[in-house]
Amino acid sequence: MQIYLDNAATTPLDPEVIDVMVEAMKEHFGNPSSIHSHGRQVKTLVEKARKTVAHLLHATPAEIFFTSGGTEADNMAIVRSIEAYGIQHAITSPLEHHAVLHTFEQLEKDGKIQLHYVNIDEKGNVDLAHLEELLSSLPKTLVSLMHANNEIGNLLDIKKVSALCKEYNALFHSDTVQTMGHYPHDLTDLKIDFITAAGHKFHGPKGVGFIYINSNNKIKPLIYGGAQERNMRGGTENVYGIVGIAKALEIAYRDMHKHQTYIQSLKDYMIEKLKENIPNVAFNGNIEADKSLYTVLNVSLPCTNMNDMLLFNLDIAGISASGGSACSSGSDIGSHVLRAIKADPNRPSVRFSFSKYNTKEEIDITVAKLKEICEHP
């Protein structure tokens, strides 16, 4: 039996998404930039997808731009807003995805900005009082804080951060890659400058994402070369990916409450089973439902002699999980998130992440295997 518990890395494609993508591949091969009928048909598909995404997010179609994924979208928001608005200071946290952290680090190295890190507590929560202190003392600032952490699952009070940024006239970008399709985003209510998303995190295709750019903001393209995406991203559109991501988001919103309830029950069940079966088990980050992403559980295990082999043993047993961000797999330095919250380096940590396709039976098998590994390494 193969068990997949690494949905924060990527999710399996929903069959409905596959169907609409295959139909588009079979029926529509034209270039959406072409003015003839074949091109116009495909352009219609792209714009229909844009309208779908905008409608679900309570945005306008003119505020949605398709990209190759979350990393490109994050880079676009950060690099181009700093250039457009003469940003001098950037505020982020040490827990951000490397698509954000590495971009800021390079910009600081290039002398474009001064980078500041907001304090976090031992659970990985952002210190909003310190954020306000920074905002009050730094002019021309961009704040970039993710809505939910991809490794430990902590949720940010995005509305409070948005209000603070507005009060101090700072730009606000949030990487919403882990929450898009899992929580509703009302961009009429949420006053934010940029959010970013990737289709493969909510049962859509890889290689496609989008950026929301508030209509009050004017930035330049990150990629030049053509007039695609209303002159904001050069290059022939990934039509089939765009069709797929719009369908995936539509399904996610349609079934959101049902899936939230079900997946949260799986997470709660695994927490209880781990506590029952593995003495001294602990959890990195928040596990309370109102403070934590319901798809992610980061487990700290007492089997200290298994630090290097735990994931390997799970894989041999047919269980796929992660030791941290999938984008850092193979790195010798381990998780920057776990280091930042001062997690015990001698205890192995595993990120289990769930989807609508997982079952309690899979949780039981996984917990039993973890118990076996810890008792008989």
Specify whether 374 is catalytic: no
**Distance separating alpha carbons of residues 163 and 209, to the nearest angstrom:** 26
Alpha carbon 210 to its chain's center = 12
Report how far apart the first and last C-alpha atoms of the chain are (Å, whole number): 22
Q: Identify the active-site residue in 165, 303, 327, 374.
A: 327
282-284 sheet: strands from edge to edge? 282-284, 296-300, 349-353
With a CB cutoff of 8 Å and minimum separation 6, the contacts of 42 are 28, 29, 30, 31, 32, 239
With a CB cutoff of 8 Å and minimum separation 6, the contacts of 298 are 151, 152, 153, 283, 284, 285, 338, 349, 350, 351, 352
Catalytic residues: 327
